[in-house]
Amino acid sequence: MKEIVINSLNAHQRADKFVRKFLNEAPLSFIYKVFRKKDVKVNGKWIKESYILCEGDILRIYVTDEQVEEFNKPKNIENIKSDLAIIYEDENILIINKPKGILVHGDINEKRITLSNQVQAYLYKKGEFKNDGKGFIPSPCHRLDRNTSGLIVYAKNVESSQIMMNLLQSHVEIEKYYLLLVDGKTEEEGEINAPLLKDEESGFVKVASIKDGAKSAKTLYKKIDTNGKYSLVYAKLLTGRTHQLRVHFQYIKHPILGDDKYGNFQLNKEFSNIFNYKNQFLHAFKLKFNNIPGKLNYLSDKEFVALLPNKEREIITKLSLKIKMPKDF
């Protein structure tokens, strides 16, 4: 059993986030198994993953000393090359233009060359991150799939992380916009209102009924241009479900090009042969900050944009499509 007294540096964050950072080498399946077995307690009481830690809390994780030794290690980040496309940085946050093909977090096959490790290595070299396992670990405030490029926000401290995560989840004061290339000719604009259900074992997401446990999911979109066979689309998330854009555009019969899970596989093969393109054509284009509270209020009314990568721009040109950005929703 490991006992930890929560200090000011570690307070005000979800218990599962803290345990993931403390047992930083443990697989996610191990972390959530510990919670399911009720092997995480605060002040002598079993807690759920969503419990918000308070300064002075006594956290007990019922794992063996051998497991602590195996999973609680300073990250070996000193020699990681941090070739980051930084869109914005201040003392509280970083906004990165993530390239396709890199994970935000590690999985069972890749734990070292991740965007998070690159960010931590960058801040370690700047002297802004100690990497001693005791303080806050700079971390992403939301997620992007491996093969989705574009804007992602990292927080440098607990308070900024909490503010950003809450706002990004609500989709009101921070708006997220995407560019995507889809199969076929879409309507000029539309709203996709289709609840989504995730199979936790397979990771596959489908449209389902709220009665069956699906969660509300809404997407707005506008067609930018089309050549009849393909359409370039501008989309805004009103909710933030796993694989939301990928499943929603499959649902309206305009799947995203290159999507190897929800796409038109025959068209993907044709597209790959012509353009040598093996990713999903999905890019997190813009973050629009409205009324930002607390220590981050200086970000209010700011916008951050990441242009399409060169490869995607070349494809758009070859398809005789034009990028004429419409007004926001």
Annotated catalytic sites, by residue? Answer: 145
Could you give phi then psi for residue 311, rounded to 5 degrees? -60, -45
Provide the token pair at 262: 């929800």
CA distance 305 to 151: 8
Asked if residue 282 lies in contact with residue 100, where contact means CB atoms within 8 angstroms, the answer is no
Half-sphere exposure of 243 (CA within 13 A, CB side): 22
Cα Rg, the chain, nearest whole Å? 21
CA distance 229 to 252: 15
With a CB cutoff of 8 Å and minimum separation 6, the contacts of 39 are 61, 62, 63
**Partners of 305 in the beta sheet?**
286
Say how far residue 317 (Cα) sits from the centre of its chain: 29
CA distance 254 to 300: 35
Asked if residue 69 lies in contact with residue 133, where contact means CB atoms within 8 angstroms, the answer is no
Q: Measuring CA to CA, how many Å separate 60 from each of 3, 38, 41, 65? A: 4, 11, 5, 13
Transcribe 42-61 into DSSP letters: ETTEE--TTPBP-TT-EEEE
Q: Residue 230 class from Cβ within 10 Å (0-12 exposed, 13-18 middle, 19+ buried)?
A: buried
Q: Residue 173 class from Cβ within 10 Å (0-12 exposed, 13-18 middle, 19+ buried)?
A: middle
Closest CA to 312 of 272, 273, 282: 282
Q: Measuring CA to CA, how many Å separate 278 from each of 8, 180, 243, 273? A: 45, 14, 18, 9
Provide the token pair at 141: 């405030």
